Each structure stands twice: as C-alpha cells, then as structure tokens.
Amino acid sequence: MELQIRPYTADDIKAMVRIWNEVVEAGDAFPQVTPLTEQNADEFFSAQTATMVADVNGIIFGMYILHPNGIGRCAHIANASFAVASASRGLGLGRKLVGNCIETCGKKGFRGLQFNAVVASNEAAQHLYESMGFTKVGMIPGGFINGLGGYEDMFIYYIDTLDTAQPC
C-alpha cells in the first residue's frame, strides 16, 4: 500500500465530492455552505492552480486545492484548503498533504502560503500547522459561523515558501 499525492483526474470526482462535502456539511472548518455536486465539481476543481488527491491503490482518501490568496500585487501568496475522509483522520495524511502543498507552492512560484480561516475549535489543524513551521499571525474574533450557527474565532496562519519558490 503506497500513498501517492497526484493531480486529480475525472475518475476521482465522485470520491472528491464525497470527501469535500463531508467537511462542508460538518460546518466546522470550511467557509462554504453549499455542497458540491458531481456536475459542478470538475469546474470548481479545475479552476484552482492545483488540485491534488491522496491516492492509495486507486482509492482517494483526501485532497487539497491551491490557488492565489489574492489578486494582482498579492497573487504571489497562496491559499489552500484540505479535506481528509473522516475514516482516515489521525493517520498522518493531513501532514503529508500539507507538506506536498508547500512543495507545490514553490513549484507554482508562490512565495508564501496563508490560511485565512483556521477555526479556533479546530485544534488538530492548529497543532499540525504549528508543528510544520506555520506562524499564527492573527485572530479574527467571531469570524467564523459554525454549522450550529455559533460564532467562533478564527486564526490566520502563514509560512514562507520562498525557499521552494521558483521565480514568477
């Protein structure tokens, strides 16, 4: 059994939608409230700078999307979202996906990676990011509305990817 993190293909869409929507519907990590459909997912995923899946023997267990965090003069800083199937959480897959994402940032010419909305109750993500060298650079009080309608603080995390970045 070997993990491969690779660009998604059309054959992966069904599994990707299931994993993505599991996170959206939980209401505790992603800002999206509307689940993807198999019909609109390819358009969404193909619009990203990179969409990668975690594949073990043809089974998709997780994924991430990567894109500029801003436009124009801010487009050299990336943003990403990660989704891991609930049955696969706690096995180190998130660490591998984030590590691959940092490498991909460099290959795509991004100089940094910023997470805008790490929810305060998502302590596992905070621990992971901090253990990988990300810096918590700010907090937005009540910036996230969870799936139960409650307001939670959210944190901004950043890591410099200049060491891996290629010239723009």
Q: What CATH number does the domain containing 10 carry?
A: 3.40.630.30
Asked if residue 7 belongs to a domain, the reply is yes
Asked if residue 81 belongs to a domain, the reply is yes
| Mean per-residue pLDDT, 25-52 | 95
Which of the two residues, 86 and 37, has the higher pLDDT score? 37
Q: By the 8 A CB rule, do 51 and 41 touch?
A: no
| Mean per-residue pLDDT, 92-97 | 92
DSSP letters for 32-51 = --SPP-HHHHHHHHHTSSEE
For residue 29, give the 3-state DSSP assignment.
Answer: coil
Report the C-alpha gap between 120 and 20 in whole angstroms: 20
| Mean per-residue pLDDT, 56-63 | 94
Asked if residue 166 belongs to a domain, the reply is no
Asked if residue 19 belongs to a domain, the reply is yes
Report the C-alpha gap between 54 and 77 in whole angstroms: 23
Asked if residue 64 belongs to a domain, the reply is yes
**Range(s) of the domain holding residue 115:** 3-160
Asked if residue 167 belongs to a domain, the reply is no
pLDDT at 163: 72
pLDDT at position 63 over 70: yes
- Taking each helix axis from N to C terminus, what angle separates 38-46 and 13-26, rounded to the nearest 10 degrees? 90
pLDDT at 162: 80
For residue 127, give the 3-state DSSP assignment.
Answer: helix
pLDDT at 88: 82
> Would the pTM count as exceeding 0.85?
yes
Asked if residue 156 belongs to a domain, the reply is yes
pLDDT at 168: 45
Q: By the 8 A CB rule, do 25 and 80 touch?
A: no
Q: By the 8 A CB rule, do 77 and 113 touch?
A: yes
Q: By the 8 A CB rule, do 153 and 141 touch?
A: yes
Please count the structural domains in the chain. Answer: 1
What digits encode the pLDDT tens for the residues 102-147? 999 999 999 999 999 999 999 999 999 999 999 999 999 999 999 9
Asked if residue 61 belongs to a domain, the reply is yes
pLDDT at 1: 65
